[in-house]
Amino acid sequence: MCEAKKIKCIVWDLDNTIWNGTLLEDHNVVLKMNIVEMIKALDERGILHSIASRNDYQIAMDKIKEFGIEEYFLYPQINWGSKAAAVKKIAESINIGLDSLAFVDDQLFELEEVKDSYPEVLCINASETGGILAMPGMMPKFFTADSKMRRTMYLNDIKRNELEADFAGPKASFLSSLHMVFSITEATEEDLKRAEELTVRTHQLNTTGYTYSYEELDQFRKSANHRLYICGLEDKYGTYGKIGLVLVEVKDSAWIIKLLLMSCRVMTRGGGNVLITWMIQEAIRNKTRLLAEFIPTDRNRMMYMTYKFMRFNEKEKMDHVTVLENDLSYMPKFPDYIKINDFRVS
């Protein structure tokens, strides 16, 4: 297994960080040398960007738009509050852990405030940004199609969330209006880069916290004793990309779910329930028992509750691993608001 802390989002200060000078003192500030190229390069790697700046919101956003870089910053926090509060708000809005954030600022006291409040955040002095592209946490092993589209997919999510907030009817009606299509396929060699990325990046909706390398996943894909499935989701606003993964150990006596994970971006779309429903249906169809391993972490209790909601009950505990079983006495159905495109195991 591979273990690595990966940065998912960089939170930038503005004055003397993105640009030289203080905006409220001189509206003719200029961008720092190579900063746009750096932001674009990180964006290509799938690393998101946001802003935490003590500034007048409208004046700062007008300047960012003037520079033509507003599209790169998600959930910008430009106000007179604390930088620590801004960083936390950004993590919550993107729905990622604070340990996935880096914070860049030119002021030592701002860096210290964030570090004292959230030690898990990677704090970087603006004077050191010249080396940011080479930092280990900024260098994913693979650049996947999902990586390059990540910002666009988050921007689409913002659009969906805004529409949902304004939607007057019940949640199921809104979800139905999206015309979602959930795909489940056997992982191919072309899927393995994204599959490894999912195991490294996904923490909240991950049943065991296991991370697997490309080579390990390829062995599982080829193994007669394992099945590796990958999931995608799209709707009328575009694709969510490859958002789920499940690894099953196949024994004569039972199927054992060794790993099931789902991107946090589809948390409110019921992706975890859909994937588990599919697994239950497959187990019933293949007349086999269905077990699932669960390892609690400080982030994944929601996945335990999802298993319980789907009628999995604790069977035994082995060291730090809890084994659950579904007695398959009930065949769950997929929600009406989502279409399933899958293959069927013979």
For 145-342, give the CATH class. Answer: alpha beta
Return d(Cα 196, Cα 261) in angstroms, integer: 12
Residue 344 has pLDDT above 80, yes or no: no
Of 192 and 205, which is predicted with more confidence? Answer: 192
Candidate CATH numbers 3.20.20.70, 3.10.580.10, 3.40.50.1000, 3.30.360.10; the one for domain 9-138? 3.40.50.1000
Average pLDDT, stretch 331-341? Answer: 93
Q: Among 1-5, 18-22, 230-234, 320-324, whose mean pLDDT is lowest?
A: 1-5
Average pLDDT, stretch 237-257? Answer: 95
pLDDT of residue 268: 80
Task: Look at residue 49 and give its three-state secondary structure.
Answer: strand
Q: Is there a contact between 45 and 144 (Cβ–Cβ < 8 Å)?
A: no
pLDDT of residue 2: 42
Residue 4 has pLDDT above 60, yes or no: no
Of 98 and 264, which is predicted with more confidence? Answer: 98
Q: What is the pLDDT of residues 276-308, one digit of tens each?
A: 999 999 999 999 999 999 999 888 898 999 999
pLDDT of residue 47: 95
Return d(Cα 329, Cα 331) in angstroms, integer: 7
Give the pLDDT band (50/70/90) at residue 55: very high
Question: Considering only CA atoms, which of 288, 283, 294 is closest in space to residue 258?
Answer: 294
Average pLDDT, stretch 89-96? Answer: 92
What does pLDDT average to over the chain? 92
pLDDT of residue 310: 95
Residue 7 has pLDDT above 90, yes or no: yes
Structure tokens at 137: 């946490």
Give the pLDDT band (50/70/90) at residue 3: very low
Residue 346 has pLDDT above 70, yes or no: no
Query: Whole-prediction pTM value?
Result: 0.79
End-to-end Cα separation, the chain, in angstroms: 30
Structure tokens at 37: 């190229």
Return d(Cα 274, Cα 262) in angstroms, integer: 10
Average pLDDT, stretch 223-231? Answer: 96
pLDDT of residue 209: 85
**Residues 60-65: contacts with CB within 8 Å, 24+ apart?**
60/14, 60/23, 63/19, 63/23, 63/27, 63/29, 64/14
Q: Among 28-42, 60-74, 260-274, whose mean pLDDT is lowest?
A: 260-274
Task: Find the angle CA(170)-CA(172)-CA(176) to the nearest 5 degrees.
Answer: 120
Task: Look at residue 77 and give its three-state secondary structure.
Answer: strand
Average pLDDT, stretch 114-119? Answer: 97
Residue 345 has pLDDT above 60, yes or no: no
Return d(Cα 291, Cα 285) in angstroms, integer: 15
Structure tokens at 302: 């929601």
Residue 1 has pLDDT above 50, yes or no: no
Give the pLDDT band (50/70/90) at residue 258: very high
pLDDT of residue 195: 94
Give the domain ranges of the chain. 9-138, 145-342
